Amino acid sequence: MADRLVNPPAEGWSLTIPHRMWQDLSTHLFRNDKDEHGGVILAGLAPGPRGPRLLARELLLATDGIGYVPGTTGYRALHPTFVRDAALRAADEHLAYLAFHNHFGTTTVSFSTTDMASHERGYPALRQLTGQVVGGLVLTRDAAAGDLWLPDGQRVELAEVVVPGTNLIRLRARPALNGPTDAQRQRQALMLGDQGQEVLRRMCVAVAGLGGAGSILVEFLARLGVDHLILIDDDTVDDDGTNLCRLIAAEPDDPGRPKTELAARNARRANPNIKLTIISRRIETLEAREALTTCDWIFLAADTHAARHWINQTIHQYLIPAIQVGVKIPVNEDGDIGQIHAVTRLFLPGDGCMWCNGLINPTQLAIDMLPNEQRAAARYIPEVAAPSVITLNGTAVMEALNHFLLATTGLLTDDDTISTVIHLPQNRERLRQHHRQETGCIWCTAPLRS
């Protein structure tokens, strides 16, 4: 516990860097030559749960001696030609320009006096040239500081750099102070630490789909101490009550009520102070899609192709990690049960996506996007109710929740966790399957310049 750096989410401006880009950045900066290196990140801009989010789109590495050269007023500097070309691209593509270099140290970092003087000489002109956010970053392996110059004339500090990788890394200029002890979760904090518990408290998590799996997710997230949940589902409890047995804490008079109402009731019972954003609409509606872009993590427990498509887009365009959970219980015409699968799929920005892995059918997506009254008529084969059992839902959900808990609090020790986990309950087996990533995929391979 002592050597584990855990920073809770910070209020203010943040920069999110996909983990593969962070690996390339780290290889470029943190070498054994004990020297400084640099380059530029081009980043998009989006709202976030605690302030504006800069979203790293492209990494421009400056070659030593060509793009990164001895400085006239400091030790090293980006070459004027490199700066010009990067700034023009930022202007053309409406992206933020963030120059970066490394310092030496571990958990604390700051700009030098020379760095700040350089910013004051150059950034007003760059801001005018690009019309976008411009700024500087200084990084160590475990810390980051940023100086941002905004188009409206403001100058602000970067609150944190977020790297959604094996563990969800949050880098600050200095380690966060210990948060207040949560008396109700003291035994949980014995494992997570006070800072780990504070991480959960400040997280904003979306749950899309509030049926058999989603209702379990909401209950456990609230009990873990997550203080803001976004609940999305347009469905109601079956009028005949046939799904009451797999909805956590459902009551006999709940048939006909929105599933969001049940989920909200359960969350408030588990945590009376929890903040809830309740959206009783389909995921493909504008209200739901916009809400998804402003969270820290997404759980997908809905089984429509439209839900998969829009959340897939959110993962890779807005750099938000997500976990899909699902259960398949095949039953043939004779009533014979095939191999049961309880599946948990982790998707990180810039890795294999749902399109690459064959999880979205274009025809079914087109049908899902039709208005309610046209959707049933458009299906060649009427939908048949699939088997669903609460304990099997729980198998997939607990795998997902444990990954979320360990990743967000820095406790994962396996660098190869970006995969699908498949439970085969009949065989008592747990398998892992690596994602596919197709060359040229517009979602998870090609840069998104927006």
Residue 185: pLDDT band with limits 50, 70, 90:
confident
Distance CA 417, CA 406 (A): 11
Q: How far is CA 253 from CA 118, 240, 263, in A?
A: 67, 11, 15
Q: What does the pLDDT average to over 172-194?
A: 86
Q: What does pTM read for this prediction?
A: 0.94
Q: How far is CA 20 from CA 24, 62, 376, in A?
A: 6, 18, 42
Q: How far is CA 41 from CA 3, 30, 136, 311, 444, in A?
A: 30, 16, 10, 25, 18
**Are 195 and 7 within 8 A, CB to CB?**
yes
Among the listed residues 52, 46, 56, 54, the one whose alpha carbon sits nearest the alpha carbon of residue 21: 56
Residue 447 has pLDDT above 80, yes or no: no
pLDDT in tens, 313-365: 999 999 999 999 999 999 988 889 999 999 999 999 998 999 999 999 999 89
Beginning with the edge strand found earlier in the chain, give each strand of the sheet holding 155-157 in spatial order. 155-157, 144-149, 134-139, 96-102, 38-46, 53-61, 14-16, 160-164, 168-171
**Are 407 and 399 within 8 A, CB to CB?**
no
User: What pLDDT, on the 0 to 100 scale, is given for residue 225?
Assistant: 95
Distance CA 26, CA 36 (A): 12
Q: Which DSSP string do the residues of 251-312 spell out, in sequence order?
A: -TT-TTSBHHHHHHHHHHHH-TT-EEEEE-S-TTSHHHHHHHTTSSEEEE----HHHHHHHH
Q: What does the pLDDT average to over 393-406?
A: 96
| Domains of the chain and any CATH numbers | 14-171 (3.40.140.10), 183-434 (3.40.50.720)
Distance CA 150, CA 145 (A): 16
Element (H, E) at 397: helix 390-408
What is the longest distance spanned by two Cα atoms in the chain? 81
Determine the length of the chain.
450
**Are 218 and 271 within 8 A, CB to CB?**
no
Q: Which residue has the higher pLDDT, 368 or 200?
A: 200
Average pLDDT of the chain to the nearest whole number: 92
**Are 108 and 143 within 8 A, CB to CB?**
yes
Residue 69 has pLDDT above 60, yes or no: yes
Q: Give the DSSP letter of residue 173.
A: S
Residue 109: pLDDT band with limits 50, 70, 90:
very high
Q: What does the pLDDT average to over 71-95?
A: 94
Bridge partners, 55 (sequence order): 16, 44
User: Which residues does 334 contact at the CB level (< 8 Å), separation at least 6?
Assistant: none
Distance CA 85, CA 381 (A): 55
Residue 449: pLDDT band with limits 50, 70, 90:
very low
Bridge partners, 16 (sequence order): 55, 162
Among the listed residues 320, 372, 328, the one whose alpha carbon sits nearest the alpha carbon of residue 347: 320
Element (H, E) at 204: strand 204-208
Residue 450 has pLDDT above 70, yes or no: no
Residue 2 has pLDDT above 50, yes or no: no
Residue 266 has pLDDT above 80, yes or no: yes
